[in-house]
Amino acid sequence: MQMHNKKRIELIIEKMAHKRACRVLEAAGMTGYTVLPAMAGYGGGNRWNRETDISASRDMVVIVSIGDEDKIAEAMLQISDILGDHIGVVSLSSVEVLRPDRF
């Protein structure tokens, strides 16, 4: 089975701000992404938990997007800008996909 190299971006970001990141991904020409709700987390010495914070203002989500290296590079610049203001972590890894034309 023929596989093709792509990049996978994984962005852990505040729920409140996730639409900003989504807009950036779309603007950079990524063809898709998926948003997963997080349940709890830890960072900078603080813990948060979805069930214990009624305002939900500390909730995080994880955005996964798979696409071409160069489009991702474009998105990264702006994402680093968002992350300057918001809380979050972005990471990049190499993956293989089946249908390269989808991306």
Ligand X SMILES: Nc1ncnc2c1ncn2[C@@H]1O[C@H](COP(=O)(O)O)[C@@H](O)[C@H]1O
Residues that bind ligand X (CB under 6 A): 12, 31-34, 38, 41-44, 48, 60, 64-67, 87, 89, 103
CB of 77 to ligand X, least distance (A): 19
Residue from the set 24, 61, 63, 72 that interacts with another protein by CB under 8 A: 24
Backbone dihedral angles phi then psi of residue 9, each to the nearest 5 degrees = -100, 135
**Given candidates 39, 57, 69, 100, which one binds a second copy under the rule CB under 8 A?**
39
Kindly give, in sequence order, each residue whose CB lies less than 8 Å from that of residue 40, ignoring residues fewer than 6 positions away: 47, 48, 49, 50
Strand partners, 60: 14
